[in-house]
Amino acid sequence: MTSHLDRLNPAQRQAVETLDGPLLVLAGAGTGKTRVLTTRFAHILLTGRAYPSQVLAVTFTNKAAREMRERVAAILGRPAEGLWLGTFHALCARMLRRHADLVGLTSGFTILDGDDQQRLLKQVMEADRIDTKRWAPPAMMAVIQRWKDRGLTPARVTPAEDTDFANGRARAIYTAYQDRLRALNAADFGDLMLHMTEILRGHPDVLAQYHRMFRYILVDEYQDTNLVQYLWLRLLAQGHRNICCVGDDDQSIYSWRGAEVENILRFEKDFEGAHIVRLEANYRSTAPILAAASALIAHNEGRLGKTLHPGRADAQQGEKVQVIGVWDSDEEARMVGDRIEALRRDGNALAEMAVLVRAGFQTRAFEERLITLGIPYRVVGGLRFYERAEIRDAIAYMRATVQPADDLAFERIVNVPRRGIGEVALRAMHDTARTDQIPLSLAAAKLVQTGGVKGKVKESLGTLLQGFLRWREMLERDGHVVTVATLLDESGYTEMWKQDKSPEAPGRLENLKELVRALADFETLGGFLDHVSLVMENEENAEGDRVSLMTLHGAKGLEFDTVFLPGWEEGLFPSQRTMDESGAKGLEEERRLAYVGLTRARRRAIVSHAANRRIYANWQSSIPSRFLEELPEEQVELAGSAALARDARVAALPSFGGQFPLVARRTRTVEAWEQPARPARSDAIPVGARVFHQKFGYGTVTAAEDEKLDISFDKAGAKRVLDRFVERA
C-alpha cells in the first residue's frame, strides 16, 4: 500500500500524507513538485479517501494535465476513469455546459477563438460609432480581458477599475460586447471562468452541489493564478477545505499576463489553520548554483522564504557560477559560441545547452554566430529571428527599395500597414503587369498616372511609390542604416506596431530596432540581403542534437546541463521598461526571473555582461546588472573583464547607502556605424595570414592598407573589412 511513498524524502512524504485541511506546498525549483502532486493524487485514491470523480485537479497547461494523468495511472497500475483533471479553462467549460442557462446561454454554446472575438468587438464598436482607427479593437479587447481576469462583469466594473478608453465608453462597449455574445449563444475564452465564478457566487445551490462533489482540490503552479482563478478556487474550497496548492512564490514571473503573486503570499490568511510544507531539497543543480540563486532571491522582500540545498550526494561539489565580462555584445556572442564548441568537443550534448535571454531580439547575435560555426540550434517558443513576420515585412521593404522588379516583396508590403489597397486594386496591378510585361511596382505607377485607380487608393499608392523613389536616393546619399530606419518610419510600419496594443507589439518593435542595428555590420544593403538569404537557406530540421535559444520566460519548467545567461546589464536585465511600469514590484519580478534562469542549470551556469552593447542601432556603454552584485562572491568565478566591471559598478554607487535606484544609468551613446574604441591592436595582420570574421567565416588576407584589410573569404568571397573585426585563425 505504501510502496508509492518509498521514493519520497521526508518533506515530500509530509506533503503527500497531510490530507486534512488546507495545505500549501512551497516547492522550490527542481524539488520534485510534480512527483508530490501526482503521488498525493494517487495516495488519496489508494487510501479510499475519495473516488476519482471526487478529486478536482487543476493545471495550467494541457501537457501538465496529460503528464499528471499518466503518472497517476502508473502509480495506480490502471487508468483512472472519471477524473476532474484539466486546465482552469477546460474544467470551467465542462462546468458551464451544465449551467449555461444561468448566464443566458444554452449548453451548446460556441467558444470563440481570438479572430472571432476581434471581429465581433469591431462590429460592436462600429455600431456604437466609435472610430476604430483611433481606438483599436485589440486595445479594447485587452481592457475587457483584463477585467475578466479580475472577475469583473460589466456591472462589477467600479470607477476605480474603469479606464478612459474611447472617451470613457469602455464599460458601455464591454456591456454591448457581452450582450452580443449572449445573442450569438457564444462565450469567449475569458468568459469560461468569469461565468462559472459568477454562477458560484450567485447560486448557492450550485455551489453546494460542487462542495458535495469535490472532497479534495489539487492546484499546480498556484503562484501563476490570476484573480478570477483565485476567486473560483476559494469558492470551491469552502466546502471540505481540503485544498492543496503547490507553487513557488520565487518563480512568479507572469504578472504581464495577469498572474498575482499575492495569491500565494496570503494563502495562510485565506485558509485559516493551513499547513505549509517547504520542499527545499533540489535534485537538479549543484551546490554553488543553488547557493548563488538563493542568495540572489533573498534580496526580495515579498516572499514566504525557503533555501534550496542539494538533494543528491554528488551535487555537493561543482563548478562555481561564472560571471564573464566582455568588451561588447559581438564578443559576447563569440564567447558563447566558442564555449559551446569546446563543450561539444568534450563530449557534451548540444541538447543539454541553452542560451536564455531577457528579450527576444537578443537571439539574433547568437543565431548568426552559431550559423557561422555550423552549430545546429533551435529557437524554443518562437521563430528564428529572420522568420518573424515583422522582420520579413521590413526585409520586403528593403528588397523593394533595392530591386524595383521584386514583385514578391512589393506585393507583401503594398498594403502593410493598411493603405486601403484591396483585392480589386491588386488584381488591376497584376493585369497591367502581365499585359505590359513590367514589374508590379511599375504597373502600380502606371495605374496612378493613368487614373486606373482612384480616390484614397490612388493617393496612398502614389505616396508609397514616391517613398520608394525618395528612399533609393537616400540610399546613395546617406547610407543604408539611415535609409532603412527612415523608410520604416516614413512608411508607417513602425507606427503600426506602436499603435498595436497586443502583448506582442513591444517585442516586435524591439526586433525591428535590432534589425536596424544588424545593418551596421554590413557595408551595403545588398550585402545584408545576401547574408539574410544565406541564413534562411541554412535552416535545418528541428530534430536532432541542437542548442536551445529562448527567453527566460519560456525556460520555466525546463532544465539543461549548461545554461548561458547573457545580457546582465542595467536597463536590459533588469528591464528598464518593467521598472518604469511597475517600480519596486517590477524589480522583484525581474529578480525572480534571474532566479529562474540560474535554477535551470544542472552543472554550470555562465552569466555574461558587455561593457558596450549595440541596442536599437546605437552603441551604449553599459554597467553590469545590480543582480551580479547580489551573487555571493564565494560562489562566483569572475572571468574576462568582469573583475574590472565589478569595480566600476561599485564606483557608480550613489553617495547614500541602500539599494540601487530603479533608474538605470547609461553613459555616452554613439551612432550605430561607430565602433567603441577598442584597445589598439598590438600586432598588424600581415598579407597571407589566415583570419576569422564573425559574419564571413575564415579567409586569407590578400592586401593591407592601414586598418583596412582585403580578405578572400572561403565562402563569402572577397571583402574589405577593418582589422578590428577579424582575429587570427
Q: Which of 14, 18, 34, 145 is catalytic?
A: 34
- Ramachandran class of 151: left when φ > 0, alpha when ψ lies in -120 to 50, beta otherwise: left
Structural contact between residues 60 and 87, judged by C-beta atoms closer than 8 angstroms: yes
Query: What H or E segment, with its residue span, contains residue 168?
Result: helix 165-168
d(CA 103, CA 191): 10
Q: Which amino acid is at 444?
A: A
d(CA 584, CA 579): 7
Structural contact between residues 12 and 32, judged by C-beta atoms closer than 8 angstroms: yes
Q: Which of 59, 197, 251, 432 is catalytic?
A: 251
**Phi, psi for residue 618 in degrees, rounded to 5:** -125, 145
Is 238 a residue of the active site?
A: no
Q: Within a 10 A sphere around the Cβ of 234, how many other Cβ atoms?
A: 15
* Strand arrangement, sheet containing 216-219: 84-87, 55-59, 216-219, 243-247, 23-27, 275-279
Nearest to 90 by CA among 60, 122, 134, 128: 60
Structural contact between residues 43 and 23, judged by C-beta atoms closer than 8 angstroms: no
d(CA 251, CA 39): 22
* Strand arrangement, sheet containing 708-713: 717-722, 708-713, 697-705, 690-693, 726-728
- For the chain, what is the largest distance between any 2 Cα atoms, rounded to a whole number of angstroms? 88
Nearest to 13 by CA among 281, 269, 227, 220: 281
Is 578 a residue of the active site?
A: no
Residues shown for the chain: 729
Q: What residue has cell string 566591471?
A: 645
Long-range contacts of range 175-180, CB-CB < 8 Å, 24 or more positions apart? 176/124, 176/127, 176/128, 177/120, 177/121, 177/124, 177/144, 178/153, 178/154, 180/120, 180/123, 180/124
Residue 505 CA: distances (Å) to CA of 134, 360, 493: 17, 12, 12
- Cell matching residue 143: 481592457
Cβ contacts of 450 within 8 Å, gap of 6 or more: none
- Alpha-carbon Rg for the chain, nearest whole angstrom, is 29
d(CA 651, CA 622): 14
Q: Which amino acid is at 395?
A: I
Q: Which of 69, 320, 600, 602 is catalytic?
A: 600
Is 600 a residue of the active site?
A: yes
Is 221 a residue of the active site?
A: yes
Q: Which of 188, 191, 198, 220 is catalytic?
A: 220
> 323-350 burial, b if ≥16 CB within 10 A, otherwise e?
bbbbebbbbbbbbbbebbeebbeeebeb
Is 613 a residue of the active site?
A: no
Is 220 a residue of the active site?
A: yes
Q: Which of 13, 31, 33, 562 is catalytic?
A: 33
Q: Which of 149, 188, 221, 248 is catalytic?
A: 221
Residue 609 CA: distances (Å) to CA of 323, 550, 604, 653, 672: 8, 18, 17, 18, 19
Terminal CA-CA length for the chain: 65
| Residues involved in catalysis | 33-34, 220-221, 251, 600
